[in-house]
Amino acid sequence: MATSEDATAKRQRTSAFRVATAATATSLTDCAKLPNNVLMPWVGFGTYRLGAGAAKAATLAALRSGYRMIDTAYIYAGEKCEPEVGKAIHAALADGTLGSRDELFVVTKHWRKFHGYDAALGCLRRSLERLQLDHVDLWLMHWPGPAWSTMNRKTSELESHGAWHYAVAGHGEQDIQALRAETWRAMEEALRLGQARSIGVSNFTVAHLEALKQTARVWPPAVNQVECHPLYPQTELRQYCEREGIVLQAYAALGGQDGSKAKWQALGGTLLEAAPVTAAATAHEATAAQVLLRWALQRECSITPKSSNAGRMEENADLFGFMLSDEEMGAIGELAARTADEPAKGRLCWRTDPLRMLDAIP
């Protein structure tokens, strides 16, 4: 593999977006062509859990390392991440890291508190103000189901009254599908107005997508961003998205950043320690993290790894000097057998949310 210094120099010389498959991408500017012909880099930089204090510096470091897709959300860092990402983007434009806004693909996400037509458009307006941008390149519906009336959700109450017990008025089980359709209608309007160059969803199951399809005027969603890794491979969803022309974007590609030590122990250790992953890392003189990210790419999944460490950013971007063999891909894929008998164990993100297993949402 190329040295970190060589890889950085190569990325900095490559600025123009071009179409490629995920498996054959050779740079951070190689892109998927979205359904409306917008180009989106296969590899981006994620800002989840960076915190307001680190978001600007980390995002700017990522841009200087050659990343050209930044993934953020209205809710990240208690609604404080978007302003810091915006500051980083404008700093990169000012110092020449970015020659123009057109060299960057910005993703943000609508928050579920703002489901509904007017509320959703207001949410995007605030996101644009925070980012100091007149448009985003991709706007995602972050979560299909409801806003909560409180963060203090008691397990005993949920067991007695069901998972929807704390949903706010108008976000209940009988209402959410129609409300979600109105959110999508607002997203279609944002697309028409040029406030978003493309629109998509996040954390949607096949059932959610099929329901949305019945009322959508713009179809398919450009992207479905979901938790996806060898313990939670999303095989059925990935196949559906491929048939419909939706790009599957994998978050938590290293195994789920919300997984507890106890859960990892119950699953036999982290994916970074799994034998087929470490064997492939040794064979390709790569790190375990690089192998897992490469596995996602070779399944035609877009990825948005996150780090506040500049060296780790470089590592996560240096994915183009090796290919996993069919045997290695298969061996890593077989790790899903750890959770085959109880799929809920495979999902390691949003684990305090009673509706994290989204099949429960109509």
Residue 326 has pLDDT above 90, yes or no: yes
pLDDT higher than 80, residue 343 = no
Q: What is the pLDDT of residues 173-218, one digit of tens each?
A: 999 999 999 999 999 999 999 999 999 999 999 999 999 999 999 9
pLDDT digits (tens, 9 = 90+) for 96-116: 999 999 999 999 999 999 999
Please compute the mean of the pLDDT values over residues 300-309 and round it to a whole number: 95
361 pLDDT more than 70 = no
Q: Mean pLDDT over residues 9-31, rounded?
A: 80
Condensed to tens digits (0 to 9), the pLDDT of residues 214-226 reads 999 999 999 999 9
Whether omega for the bond prior to residue 220 falls within 30 degrees of 0, making it cis, is: yes
* Number of other residues whose CB lies within 10 A of the CB of residue 152: 8
Sign, CA dihedral 205-210-214-220, equals positive
**Contact of 218 with 197, CB cutoff 8 Å:** no
Q: Can you tell me which residue has the tokens 């950085």?
A: 8
pLDDT band at 2; cut points 50, 70, 90: very low
Across the chain, what does the average pLDDT equal? 91
Q: Please identify which residue in the block is written with the tokens 């790190």.
A: 287
Angle at 14 between CA 309 and CA 85, to 5 degrees: 40
Please provide the DSSP assignment of 166-232 as one string.
TBPTT-STTTHHHHHHHHHHHHHHHHHHTSBS-EEEES--HHHHHHHHTT-SS-S-SEEEEE-BTTB
pLDDT greater than 70 at residue 8? no
The mean pLDDT value for 321-333 works out to 97
The pLDDT score that the predictor gives to residue 151 is: 85
Could you list the beta-strand ranges (E) of 34-116.
Answer: 39-41, 45-46, 69-71, 105-110
Pairing of strands 302-303, 223-227: unpaired
pLDDT digit string, tens, across residues 228-268: 999 999 999 999 999 999 999 999 999 876 677 777 887 78
What pLDDT is recorded for position 184?
98
Q: What is the DSSP string of 14-51?
A: --S-EE--TTT--STTEEEE-TTS-EEESB-EE-TT--
pLDDT band at 15, cuts 50/70/90? Answer: low
Q: What is residue 140's DSSP assignment?
A: E
Q: Active-site residue 76, yes or no?
A: yes
Residue with the bigger pLDDT between 34 and 153: it is: 34
For residue 203, the model assigns a pLDDT of 94
One-letter identity of residue 210: E
Output the pLDDT for position 265: 80
Kindly tell me if the per-residue pLDDT of 346 is higher than 80. Answer: no
pLDDT in tens, 55-91: 999 999 999 999 999 999 999 999 999 999 999 999 9
Q: pLDDT for 265-304, tens place per residue?
A: 877 888 999 999 999 999 999 999 999 999 999 999 999 9
Beta bridge partners of 105: 69
| CA dihedral for 280, 2, 298, 230, sign (positive or negative) | positive
State percent of the chain over pLDDT 90: 80
Task: Please report the domains of the chain, with CATH numbers, ordered by start residue.
Answer: 4-338 (3.20.20.100)
Catalytic residue among 76, 166, 232, 251: 76
13 pLDDT exceeds 50?
A: no
Is residue 3 predicted with pLDDT exceeding 50? no
68 three-class SS? coil
Identify the band that residue 358 occupies on the pLDDT scale cut at 50, 70 and 90: low
Between strands 223-227 and 247-251, the pairing is: parallel
Block residue for tokens 């196949």: 239
